[in-house]
Amino acid sequence: MTAPTRGALVRAGFLDADRSGRCLEDLGDWATDEVVALLAASPDPDQAVLGLVRLSEAADGEDRAQLGALLTDQGPGRRRLIQLLGSSSGLTDHLVRHPAHWREVADAQPRDAATIYADVAGDVGDATGTTAYDALRVAYRRQLVRIAAYDVTSDPIEALPIVGESLADLAGACLDAALGIARREVEGADRARLAVIGMGKCGGRELNYVSDVDVIFVAEPVEADDETGAREIAGKLAVATIQACSAHTAEGTLWEVDTALRPEGKQGPLVRTVAGHAAYYERWAKTWEFQALLKARHVAGDAEVGAAYLDAMLPMVWQASTRENFVQDVQAMRARVEQYVPASESERQLKLGPGGLRDVEFSVQLLQLVHGRSDEHLRNRATLVGIESLMRGGYVGRTDAHELDRCYRILRVLEHRIQLSRMRRTHLMPTDPEQLRPLGRALGITRDPSEGVVKLWRDTARDVRRLYERLFFRPLLSAVARLSDDDACLSLDSAQDRFAALGYADPKGAIGHIQALTGGVSRRAAIQRTLLPVMLHWFAQEADPDLGLLAFRRISDRLGGTHWYLKMLRDEGGAAQLMARVLASSRYAGQLIEGAPSAVAVFGSSDARIPLRRNQILEVLRAAIERHDDPDNAVRAIRETRRTELIRVAVADIAGTLDLDTLEQALTDIAAATIQSALDVAIREVERASGDPLVTRIAVIGMGRLGGRETGYSSDADVLFVHDPRPGADSGRAQTQATQVVNRLRDSLGASGPDPSLTVDADLRPEGKSGPIVRTLASYAAYYQRWSAGWEAQALLRAAPIAGDTDLGERFVQLIDPLRYPEGGIDDAAVRQIRRLKARMEAERIPRGGDRRTHFKLGRGGMSDVEWTVQLAQLEHAHEIPALRHTGTYSLLAVMAKHDLLTEEEAELLGSTWSLATRMRNAGVLWRGRAMESLPSSLGDVRGIASLLGWPLTRSYGLQEDYLRQTRLARAIVEQRFYDSDLTEGRDEFPTPR
Amino acid sequence: MDRQQEFVLRTIEERDIRFVRLWFTDVLGMLKSVAVAPAELEGAFAEGIGFDGSSIEGLARVFEADMLVLPDASTFQILPWRGESPGTARLFADIRLPDNTASAADPRFVLQRALTKAADKGLTFYTHPEIEFYLFEQRTSTDTPPVPVDNAGFFDHVPHGTAHDFRRAAITMLESMGISVEFSHHEAGPGQNEIDLRYADALSTADNIMTFRTVIKEVALEQGIFASFMPKPLANHPGSGMHTHVSLFEGDRNAFHEAGAPYQLSRTGKHFIAGILRHACEMSAVTNQWVNSYKRMWGGAEAPAHVCWGHNNRSAMVRVPMHKPGKDQSTRIEIRSLDAAANPYLAYAVLLAAGMKGIEEEYELPPEAEDDVWSLTDRERRSLGIDPLPASLDHAIHLMENSELVAETLGEHVFDFFLRNKKAEWAAYRDQVTQFELDQYLHRP
């Protein structure tokens, strides 16, 4: 034959055509066209041809001749050899060391466990010491090349279970032979009967090419009264067995034998009796240890002892799901499965992380534990068999099971082939195209194998992540709603078990809700059936899944046949997920939405979650007022609109799209627009009654958080009412009309009704509750003129017109500006008075039994501390620093820092503390549905709030520590800046010694 | 569940133990005990024993839930003073919340957390305390000063003296509880004794100190006398300190040791000392927690009242002992400010945190104090940059209040409780009208 040209080699798939060309020359007459074609078809043609050259050089006369014959033979043998050479440089190295093993490769067929055990035992014979160790290692690889050669010439997806079983059998055979060596070496070995139990993938008969082998040793004495002596000998046997497998000799090593799954882990004794194991699992074992036992299988040594062990253990495995804390344990385990991925590997991990192999295995085992208690058919070890039995039993849907089976196989094949290539233990996708290319080709991807294989992996991992909800929740639905025959058919009891395992506190209630939602043959029920599995999954991820499901049911009942509702949840990406999060984490939002179900449209588009500005809300409100001639109806329409806007804002807040400032502005705008509209209605009503236009003009001045545009969910609307009679009007009549309007306004918003009420509070008015509810501008002026001390204007610092006559509002501001921003600042006496007021408030205002440290508003370092610090600075310096003439709190801290009234760090810390307290108070309202004034002391509330603030649930305790720390530091600043107390002054710094 | 726990359960059965006490410590360092029947212990290992902690100093509820005590099986000991059979045993316990997370109010946890933080940097903290105490004649009233059992002095051998018998009995009992005693001798004051415990990791040492105090009091009672760890019981005699030798280990290597360096002290060791010194004043309320502590501290002689270090300088707060050739592993420093009535868990936690801070931020070690600090004048000390420790509990509280280091180490809950409690103590003390005042002022103008 003629040697192929360089170009032909490149076209055939050789990358390093020069070197491979030389190799082909070296092969001489072995390099027939057929052989070259086979080489080119292997995953890595360059490796394959190089391997063949090395093998031909290593083989001596007889082997060489027969190899030559093999390569001309048409049988499957030569393809097996060439494929193997092109798949694994690691195993090529072995063939070069032991060329005679080519026969195993050529002859590769799956074989049963008995044959493998016998072959390995035969190869080791009755040797001891290093000779035996070497023999064991060679025997192991001799079998390994067989298995690999079968694997690389089969459809890898199909062959996966057989390969995993063969590898596990080979590991068992080696352990058995190793124990044989140990028995020959340990003195008195006859006194102990030792069994080796395979755990993990070895026990499950789904082993990898390169991995630790997990085992547990069980021993019984031969003579019943020799327990102590026998245990000692069994311990030596176990150590010697491990040594025979793990020791490094001239022939390398097999694998690490991992015994950490034994009772007490690494601290526990290496060997126990059956009774010893049973006692441990009965008393001490944790949930994960039972999960691990699910894989236990006798693999080597004394078969009777092994059987006795399994008889004693396995029943316990299937009761594990009834243990206390099972749900919490499982959640913690799941979190562990998803977490521990080093950031540098997260993009490449096949095994760990969401969508990885461990995720699949964990999910399957969890379902087996939950349902295997009552169904013996589920009690099997291997993951793929587990999936199949779950499907046959109807615990997961048929399609989902097939899908999961496929994904798992693909991921495992990828893992196998990556390991096989260099016989290294790794679970990372390579990044180097030179490694990706053979990997893709090994999986039969011929076009762009490097990119193709990465895409295959990513698609598969994504599918696995989606499967979670389908595996766990869809069958629940089938159980309750009886879907089509093809699907899962969980019993109601099993469904309850599963709900409980997934974190629902009231499984019966959940089933009831689902039955109600999916009952009947309507289109609505049909959509709910497809929607609910994923909704249930999302509820389960929040602080209160039961609450979420209940609210969802109520809303769905109300919206019933509304055509767009279910369509939106089904079709709009993210709508259902956001709805699930909102309902299962916020009682406040749930209650609002239940009263106005059509507001769920807000979940449908992110545009609908942009808060409306004051003018936009007013536009809606004005239209509503005009539609309703009757004042009561008009007010109802105003309050309905307010509810809709509150829902919009709350949902956007929970969705995480609002920062604190935007949220407060939005809530302020809602309150201001509501008051404005209610004022309009009240004026219209009074005018109609008198038949004339009002003889006075009215403005509403926002105070406190409303005036500062820092409104929270639970804030009342603090206001002052001011009016100004029109020229020539009768002052008595004007006052009467204004009072009528104001009372009507407050009643209409404050009265109870279907929509949430808004308390309009005018207690900050002159003379407080005993003063008239509304005064004329002149009356305010006269009243304020009586002020002399300078500190009284503090409350006015946050006054800003929010509704009513704009011009009048402006004149009110002009009236109070000289008071609140006094020329030259306030004097020392006024400062003292303010400090004293604050100190008194601290002592008196905290509710009885309240904790001074944890009250959001009045507590140590709380909002009041920060606000008063800012306000004192305003009274003292606003006359010289115009930027301080502002009604807010947060933004003024930066102004203070800029003018050296605070350091940058102080401003930063006060700001973040004030924000934290504010955000926690808001989160408290969202979570509980009513105001929460201090740090919660119940664990449930802590979790709820922590989750809304975006803290991981596992760290929710940190919330309290964090809050206390921040407020303590803030208080130290307030002590210094507000109270002007030097924390070190007055102390005996240099005490006189005796 | 582990072997240790199995061992405990087995021992209880074999030795016919009828009572099991779970010991824990309140924030002020008082030993507390929950008794459980042996049959309950198995459950206690698995799930803890619920109790209402609200009545215990500093354990007031952090959350609205009952707390759990979870026994630590490695601390199991049979109490030797309750007679052989039926016996009583004790275990130290951690305080947990219902979901098994540690309680922020548990001093043992405060120390564990500080140790974990050091362990994250690969360091283990070892301590070796020298505990001083007085033996007094038994009496019921505190109206008159206590009467010491003897009039001997430092290292005096008192033939057939009470103290001698006492120490022998105490050491026997300590050893029988697995607490190794390094050294014991008569101290300078009449009736004053010192017993040194062998060095161990700080958590074991703190547990041992709690046991030690109990044992000493128990033995004293048996002998018809009583023992006091009060920092300064007799105005004219030295107070009782708890000098503690500390070292850090990095695996098996002493991180304070560096061959050839001055005093064989490594950079790590120097930074550690610098940390202790820089934060000494703010943690003083923890290391010297009582009104009375400051009377010992300012009582002169060997009590250190100034922030400085020296080599074999017994007036310095931190002393670097003489290095013994060939004993590289025993390089250590001695902190002399601690007194015998401190809460050992909290005290060791803040000392470690201060030292670690010195290491992390590479504090520079100030120059060594070579003179007897007490013999210098105020002005001299100030020129040398030697600061005084706080003059009183009031002063110490005040300095602690502004300490981020102490807050962080104790955690917000313990920090806050501790301060409130100490302020109350100071207020109660201040409210006294003392004999001194009556003597001095009753007849003035």
Are B3 and A991 an interchain contact pair (Cβ–Cβ within 8 Å)? no
Partners of residue B413 in chain A, C-beta under 8 Å = 961, 964
CB of B131 closer than 8 Å to CB of B338: no
Are B298 and A994 an interchain contact pair (Cβ–Cβ within 8 Å)? yes
Partners of residue B46 in chain A, C-beta under 8 Å = 283-284
Q: pLDDT band at A283, cuts 50/70/90?
A: confident
Distance from CA of A973 to the nearest CA of B (A): 11
- Provide the pLDDT for residue B156: 61
The angle subtended at Cα B329 by Cα B326 and Cα B335, nearest 5°, is 115
Give the residue from A960, A967, A975 with the most B CB atoms within 10 Å of its CB, the best one to mutate. Answer: A960
* Cβ atoms < 10 Å from Cβ of A514: 24
A961 closest CB neighbour out of B64, B388, B411: B411
CB of A317 closer than 8 Å to CB of A386: no
- Rounded CA separation A494/B378 (Å): 81
Whether the pLDDT of residue A987 is over 60: the answer is no
Are B2 and A972 an interchain contact pair (Cβ–Cβ within 8 Å)? no
Partners of residue A965 in chain B, C-beta under 8 Å = 407-408, 412
Residue in A921, A932, A944, A904 with CA at minimum distance from that of residue A710:
A921
B391 closest CB neighbour out of A939, A968, A988: A988
A968 closest CB neighbour out of B1, B3, B412: B412
Whether the pLDDT of residue A992 is over 60: the answer is no
Q: What is the pLDDT of residues A314-366, one digit of tens each?
A: 888 888 877 766 766 776 676 666 665 666 676 788 888 777 888 888 888 88
Average pLDDT, chain A: 88
Partners of residue A285 in chain B, C-beta under 8 Å = 1
A267 closest CB neighbour out of B2, B104, B388: B2
B305 touches chain A (CB under 8 A): yes
Question: Residues A728-737, buried b or exposed e (16+ Cβ, 10 A)?
Answer: eeeeeebbeb
Are A988 and B392 an interchain contact pair (Cβ–Cβ within 8 Å)? yes
Whether the pLDDT of residue A560 is over 80: the answer is no
Distance from CA of A532 to the nearest CA of B (A): 31
- Provide the pLDDT for residue A341: 65
- Provide the pLDDT for residue B65: 58
B104 closest CB neighbour out of A938, A961, A989: A961
Partners of residue B395 in chain A, C-beta under 8 Å = 987-988, 991
Distance from CA of B329 to the nearest CA of A (A): 27
Partners of residue B3 in chain A, C-beta under 8 Å = 264, 267-269
Are B412 and A964 an interchain contact pair (Cβ–Cβ within 8 Å)? yes
- Rounded CA separation A421/A92 (Å): 10
- Provide the pLDDT for residue B52: 73
Are A939 and B98 an interchain contact pair (Cβ–Cβ within 8 Å)? yes
Q: What is the pLDDT of residues A756-780, one digit of tens each?
A: 999 999 998 988 889 999 999 999 9
Task: Report the chain B residue with the minimal C-alpha distance to residue A938.
Answer: B64
Length of chain B as a residue count: 445
Cα Rg of chain A, angstroms: 39
Task: Report the chain B residue with the minimal C-alpha distance to residue A851.
Answer: B62
Can you read off the two tokens belonging to residue A410? 């693909």
Across residues A814-826, what is the average pLDDT?
Answer: 92
Compute the count of residue pairs across chains A and B with CB atoms less than 8 Å apart: 81
Q: Are strands B87-96 and B67-71 parallel, antiparallel or unpaired?
A: antiparallel
Are B42 and A283 an interchain contact pair (Cβ–Cβ within 8 Å)? yes
B5 touches chain A (CB under 8 A): yes
- Rounded CA separation B29/B49 (Å): 21
Q: What is the pLDDT of residues A698-743, one digit of tens each?
A: 999 999 999 999 999 988 899 999 999 999 999 999 999 999 999 9
Are A283 and B1 an interchain contact pair (Cβ–Cβ within 8 Å)? yes
B371 touches chain A (CB under 8 A): no
Are B402 and A972 an interchain contact pair (Cβ–Cβ within 8 Å)? yes
- Provide the pLDDT for residue A994: 47
B55 touches chain A (CB under 8 A): no
Task: Report the chain A residue with the minimal C-alpha distance to residue B104.
Answer: A961
A938 closest CB neighbour out of B64, B392, B401: B64
| Phi, psi of A786, deg, nearest 5 | -75, -15
Task: Report the chain B residue with the minimal C-alpha distance to residue A959.
Answer: B412
Are B412 and A267 an interchain contact pair (Cβ–Cβ within 8 Å)? no
- Rounded CA separation B165/B170 (Å): 8
Q: What is the pLDDT of residues B208-267, one digit of tens each?
A: 999 999 999 988 888 888 899 999 999 889 999 999 999 999 988 899 998 888 888 999
Cα→Cα distances A780→A287, A684, A695, A723, A811, Å: 72, 26, 19, 10, 11
Partners of residue B378 in chain A, C-beta under 8 Å = 990, 992
* Cβ atoms < 10 Å from Cβ of B444: 5
Residue ranges in chain B modelled with pLDDT below 50: none
Are A937 and B64 an interchain contact pair (Cβ–Cβ within 8 Å)? yes
The angle subtended at Cα B30 by Cα B25 and Cα B36, nearest 5°, is 55
Give the residue from B1, B288, B375, B382 with the most A CB atoms within 10 Å of its CB, the best one to mutate. Answer: B1
B13 touches chain A (CB under 8 A): no
Amino acid A203 reads G
Are A264 and B1 an interchain contact pair (Cβ–Cβ within 8 Å)? yes
- Provide the pLDDT for residue A485: 44
Whether the pLDDT of residue A463 is over 70: the answer is yes
Q: What is the pLDDT of residues A777-813, one digit of tens each?
A: 999 999 998 887 777 889 899 999 999 999 999 999 9
Length of chain A as a residue count: 994
CB of A702 closer than 8 Å to CB of A802: yes
Cα→Cα distances B444→B201, B431, B436, Å: 56, 20, 13
Long-range contacts of A523-532 (CB under 8 A, 24+ apart): A524/A560, A524/A561, A524/A566, A525/A481, A527/A566, A527/A567, A527/A569, A527/A570, A528/A556, A528/A566, A529/A477, A529/A481, A529/A483, A530/A570, A531/A566, A531/A569, A531/A570, A531/A576, A532/A473, A532/A477
B407 touches chain A (CB under 8 A): yes
Partners of residue A989 in chain B, C-beta under 8 Å = 388
- Rounded CA separation A530/A59 (Å): 63
Partners of residue B408 in chain A, C-beta under 8 Å = 965
Are A990 and B388 an interchain contact pair (Cβ–Cβ within 8 Å)? yes
- Rounded CA separation A614/B21 (Å): 67
Q: Are strands A696-702 and A717-725 parallel, antiparallel or unpaired?
A: antiparallel
CB of A782 closer than 8 Å to CB of A770: no
Task: Report the chain A residue with the minimal C-alpha distance to residue B46.
Answer: A284
Distance from CA of B223 to the nearest CA of A (A): 36
| Token pair 């057929």: residue | A34
Percent above pLDDT 70 for chain A: 94
Q: What residues of A are in the B interface, CB distance below 8 Å?
A: 264, 267-269, 280, 283-285, 328, 853, 937-939, 942, 957, 960-961, 964-965, 968-969, 972, 983-984, 987-994
Give the residue from B3, B382, B414 with the most A CB atoms within 10 Å of its CB, the best one to mutate. Answer: B3
Whether the pLDDT of residue A486 is over 50: the answer is no
Q: For residue B386, what is the DSSP state?
A: -
Q: pLDDT band at A951, cuts 50/70/90?
A: confident
A965 closest CB neighbour out of B61, B99, B407: B407
Distance from CA of B170 to the nearest CA of A (A): 34
Can you read off the two tokens belonging to residue A47? 């490796």
Partners of residue A939 in chain B, C-beta under 8 Å = 63-65, 97-99
Distance from CA of A972 to the nearest CA of B (A): 8
Task: Report the chain A residue with the minimal C-alpha distance to residue B396.
Answer: A987
